[in-house]
Amino acid sequence: MNSYLEHFRNLKLKIVGIGVTAFNRVMPAFFLPDYRIVCYKNSQELKEIGKKCPVVSVERDFKRKVKRLNSFAILSHSDVQNYLKSLGPLGIFVYKSSSKIEEICRQNGWRLIANPSRIRDPYENKKIFRETLEKIGIKPIPGEILKISEFNERALKKLQGKYGKDLVLKLPEVRQGRGKGNTFVSKPTDLERFWQKVKELGEIYDLKHLIVEKKIRGISPSITSCVTRFGILTGVVQTQITDIPEVIDVKKGGGMFIGHDWSFCHYPEKVQKLSRKIAKKFGEYLYQKGYRGIFGIDLIVEEGTNKVYPCECNPRYTGAFPVYSMIQLRGGEPPFDIFHLLEHLGLDYKMNFEEIQKLYWQKKEGAHLILYNRTSNWLKVEGEIKAGVYRLKEKELEFLRPGFSLLEIKNQEEFVLTDGVPFKGQIIKPNLRILKIIFPCRILEKEGKEIDNRTKKIVELVYQRLRLMPVAPPPEEISEEVEF
């Protein structure tokens, strides 16, 4: 790995990661010599992350706050801009680009380390993704695209005759992930939930189309890939954790993203090969369009047949990061981030593609779980819990030492609380994420539909220690968080 890191030694740019939490932008600090982070949230793990690289928090360090929890709002902040301008030539590292972020970087002469929105945006649209799959010869899930205006109870019955009783309705213009645009239906009364979702999301997005797909019974994993000049690097098929009632309100809809469990299932070679083939073929198409770096594809593996279907593309950093990168580092692999940065910085480098690819197909071990505000209330943290490394001892949480990453876990009994661990007195918006727990081992059971009893106990104890109490909404409400 050191041979790749040498390319960063003489960088003339300082690289600054911009994100809602510092944890989700921390990975370049492991290999960039002069990396720093500007985040929004002030959380307990910042002290430990600050030992790895300088961290500026809008919530902690500046009086004026932001109205939206995303990279553009942070970059637009006047105090953030003054800080960034004091650093000299900059590269701005973000979760994903947007036309607004591109403009603010252009105005300030900052290099944006991300794919331009004109290249990446189309593939977040599930309609375009499905049409692209068909164009390049990859079979999508059985189903079809129609206009929302053409959909009604009669159309539902006709579609059920073609694709089966259980269907998934997807709103392709909804770019926000975490299952927000999906509704599972099996009977006409289920359409009430769908039309309510159309009403709510129609205030944010220009909703025109509907994808109706057969509900495939099976596990819903994903695969991470990276577009490089030497080829498409692919990782292992990884199990996504969704719809766990211990950490979210499952009434809000299906497919809510909660984390990953790499240890739960090391998928058979047939599934791995089919998934790699999909990722490679789609990645080669992206390369032709000018895309570079990390992307992910959500999949579903059909129960009983092991057929693999692509569900959607995430043309950006995904929710697997930075935990996936930490697993890679622990396994002796150069993380995906290195090649993502090398490509976007335009550095001249060499790669033994086959050697790296072989490393990337090694089995991965670990898991992470996101804890949310499970209610529709604003909640105040009345209790206290530290970020850091813990274990479960005699049905109680025992704090062992400070830390923020998987790399600080020493054995299978330990786990880490990180990524937004709040201070006493902080306010949490309804249904938004609170913190992340990282494990070195499997946490799922029962075909991946439930977390195991040990993990349930850990989750219960964390919520107890937080003591989340309902409060009135603050006068200056921050809008919904849209980024990892």
Tens digit of each residue's pLDDT (9 = 90 or more) over 170-223: 999 887 655 678 899 999 999 999 999 999 899 888 899 999 999 999 888 999
Q: List the domain boundaries for the chain.
A: 2-114, 142-214, 218-360, 367-471
Judge contact between 93 and 19, C-beta under 8 A. no
Residue-wise pLDDT for 373-432, tens only, equals 999 899 999 999 999 999 999 989 999 999 999 999 999 999 999 999 999 999 999 888
d(CA 341, CA 351): 14
Judge contact between 21 and 397, C-beta under 8 A. no
E-strand spans in 186-321?
209-214, 218-219, 221-228, 231-242, 257-261, 293-302, 308-314
Q: Which amino acid is at 481?
A: E
d(CA 220, CA 242): 9
d(CA 385, CA 393): 16
142-214 maps to which CATH number?
Answer: 3.30.1490.20
Distance of CA 26 to the CA centre of its chain: 14
Residue-wise pLDDT for 269-292, tens only, equals 999 999 999 999 999 999 999 999
Write down the mean pLDDT value for the chain: 93
Alpha helices for 78-152 (secondary structure H): 78-85, 99-108, 117-120, 126-135
The CA-atom distances, in angstroms, between 95 and each of 46, 131, 322, 355, 368 are 19, 25, 11, 28, 19
The closest alpha carbon to 22, from 68, 96, 74, belongs to: 74
Residue-wise pLDDT for 302-322, tens only, equals 999 999 999 999 999 999 999
Residue 381 bridge partners (DSSP): 468
**Dihedral, CA of residue 390, residue 32, residue 37 and residue 287, to nearest 10:** -100
Mean pLDDT computed over 48-63: 97
Residue 303 bridge partners (DSSP): none
Which string of DSSP letters, residue by residue, matches 358-427? HHHTS----EEEEEE--SSSEEEE-S---SEEEEEETTEEEEEE---SGGG--STTEEEEESSPPPTT-E
- Tell me which of 2.60.40, 3.40.50, 1.10.10, 3.30.70 is the CATH number of domain 2-114: 3.40.50
- Residues belonging to the chain: 484
The closest alpha carbon to 433, from 374, 379, 385, 372, belongs to: 372
Asked whether the CA dihedral 333, 241, 396, 429 is positive or negative, the reply is: positive
218-360 classified as CATH 3.40.630.40: no
Residue-wise pLDDT for 242-266, tens only, equals 889 999 877 665 668 899 999 999 9
Residue-wise pLDDT for 13-55, tens only, equals 999 999 999 999 999 999 998 999 999 999 999 999 999 999 9
**Dihedral, CA of residue 483, residue 7, residue 87 and residue 98, to nearest 10:** -30
The closest alpha carbon to 398, from 384, 415, 411, 421, belongs to: 415
H or E segment to which residue 168 belongs: strand 167-170
Residue 378 CB partners (closer than 8 Å, separation 6+): 427, 428, 429, 430, 470, 471, 472, 473, 474
